[in-house]
Chains A and B, each alone.
Chain A
Amino acid sequence: MSRASRRGVLSGGAATLALTLAAPRAMGQARPKAVVIGGGFGGATCARYLNRLGVAVTLIEPNATYIACPFSNLVIHGSRDLAAQQFGYEALKREGIVIAPEMAAGVDADARLVRLASGATLPYDRLVLSPGIDIRFDALPGYDEAAAQIMPHAWKAGPQTLLLRSQLEAMRDGGVVVMSVPANPYRCPPGPYERASLIAHYLKTYKPKSKLIVLDAKDAFSKQKLFQTAWEELYPGILEWVALGAGGKTTEVSVKDMVVVTEFDRHKADVANIIPPQQAGRIAVAAGVADKSGWCPIDPVTFESKLRPNMHVIGDASIAGAMPKSAFAANAQAKVCASAVALLLRGEAPASPKLLNTCYSIVAPAYGISVAGVYHPAGGLLADVEGAGGVSTLGASSEVRAREAAYADSWFKTIAAEVFG
């Protein structure tokens, strides 16, 4: 704290107030308060780091068990149990983080209060929102919440993941699986292609007369050359990818007819996996931190909302420039944000950060590929540090692919331990 501001506190009426407030209280009770909304990769990490930095933290999260999306494509593949994706908040509670086990319903920015679904309110000095995504059930004609029970999205892990898995299991050999992939931005850019690979692997192994059609609203995607090279080698005749330019964009679905409609075609499906357009978790809209795009503009140094003061947005909900919507990124952003929030609460200014991202994709058992990036604030956004980052080498040996698959597994164990363990 600077001398000038200390003098500010101790001069005039404020001095009396400071002393009255401070005198009867133990230091611990005077800790500034942060409220974190959402106990996923971003929010749970941020809560832990804030708590360690001496801030009193309440984490608002309605679910007692968090179900992680990374590696949930292996559950759909049939090689992993959903239980391996589940984590609780016991470790966070033991550290002294208070959990409010319900939905946040709204935020009063002026009074700095979060309103909970029960009607109770929580005051904050700084608020961090990490609500992840919500599916836009208004964006694709025919695809509403009821339709998702027939054509699962499985883009939030849990019952949806198991539903897609059981539909694949029940499908006859010779069936057609149709996947629909949205335009950018959406959660986990390479996720649909990892899923396509693993579904193709399941079909090749157990139902080799079947086909997978991937209908894409894009012409280019993450790790594209690596995926396509692997598909040609591993899944010829099984996996067909239809780009936007070839009429891949889904315009409508009909659950009654089990049809996925594109500009040029109607695809009859035995199993349909619709990954629909998405937006920041709805609380971001209620709090006033989402813009017209449905996502949240932020300051790239502090992750403070560009629309509301004292509120920070991290993870999938944020507009993080070149940083993808990944669990790795949410975790990295959470740590930088916690550090910035702690400094701001002390009246200090955080320095410009750098952040990393790494996303592994599993293309087949013991076949992993990755994309990595280094980011820094530039032009008001998080931009790529030039000359760094990139994808796995094309044409690498099977030994290198196996090593990346093992690293992927190792990454998940380590990040899960950092966030929940």
Chain B
Amino acid sequence: MTRVRATVLAFLFSMSSACAQSPAPPGALSCSGCHGAAGVEIPSLSGLSADEITEAMGAFKSGARPATLMNRLAKGFNETETRAISQWLASQRSAP
């Protein structure tokens, strides 16, 4: 009975949330902890293109762009992961 209930729910939910976003790529959900609306010290990512974010992350990682902290975080992602995160961030309507 419980299993049936779960399966029914899963079925209905999958239909009702057909519009649900595809899951965020690894790492992407953490960004909004620091990057939010404009008007504070840490820059908002809203309005940046995927290419701009990818390029910034690359420059943080190589040290070409000086940073207090983003250099330490950028090193945790390879190019494919960074690009996926950038694309996802750029695709968010109210980008974090």
Binding site for B on A (CB under 8 A): 1, 5-6, 8-9, 14, 17-18, 21-22, 27-28, 30-32, 53-55, 112, 125, 328, 331-332, 335-336, 339, 342-343, 345-347, 350-356, 358, 370, 372, 374, 376, 385, 387-390, 392, 400, 403-404, 406-407, 409-411, 413-415, 417-418
Contacts and interface: CB of A to CB of B under 8 A. Distances in A.
Nearest 5 Cβ contacts at the A-B interface: A374-B76, A388-B76, A414-B36, A356-B30, A410-B41
Given A332-B29, A351-B23, A410-B34, A17 B8 contact: yes
A18 to B, nearest CB: 5
A409 B41 contact: yes
A414 B33 contact: yes
Contacts of A339: 23-24, 29
A352 B27 CA distance: 10
Contacts of B36: 413-415, 417-418
13 contacts: A28-B16, A30-B9, A335-B24, A355-B29, A355-B30, A356-B27, A356-B76, A358-B73, A374-B77, A388-B74, A389-B76, A404-B68, A414-B37
Contact of A346 (B14, B24, B68): B14
Nearest to B70: A372
Interface string B63-92: 000001100111111000100000000000
A298 B21 CA distance: 26
Given A54-B20, A354-B76, A345 B13 contact: yes
B21 to A, nearest CB: 8
Nearest to B3: A14
A374 B85 CA distance: 14
B48 interface: no
A353 B4 CA distance: 30
A345 B9 contact: yes
A70 to B, nearest CB: 12
Contacts of A358: 33-34, 69, 73
Given A30-B16, A410-B40, A418 B7 contact: no
A18 B11 contact: yes
Contacts, number: 166
B17 A417 contact: no
B26 A414 contact: no
Contacts of B24: 335, 339
Contacts of B27: 353-356, 374
B20 A53 contact: yes
B26 A31 contact: no
B23 A125 contact: no
Contacts of B6: 125
| Most chain A C-beta atoms within 10 Å of own C-beta, residue among B10, B14, B34, B76 | B76
A205 B36 CA distance: 35
Contact of A21 (B8, B29, B37): B8
A388 B81 CA distance: 14
A385 B35 CA distance: 22
B26 A411 contact: no
B4 A32 contact: no
A219 B67 CA distance: 31
A347 B34 contact: no
A353 B26 contact: yes
A22 B64 CA distance: 57
Contacts of B75: 374, 387-389
A376 B74 CA distance: 14
Contacts of A342: 17, 20
A335 B68 contact: no
| Most chain A C-beta atoms within 10 Å of own C-beta, residue among B2, B7, B33 | B33
Nearest to B6: A125
A365 to B, nearest CB: 15
Contacts of A351: 23, 26
A345 B34 contact: no
Contact of A390 (B10, B34, B72, B77): B72
Contact of B16 (A14, A27, A387): A27
A356 B33 CA distance: 9
B34 A17 contact: no
Contacts of A27: 12, 15-16
Given A332-B30, A410-B34, A350 B16 contact: no
Contacts of B21: 53
B41 A328 contact: no
B90 to A, nearest CB: 18
Contacts of A410: 34, 40-42
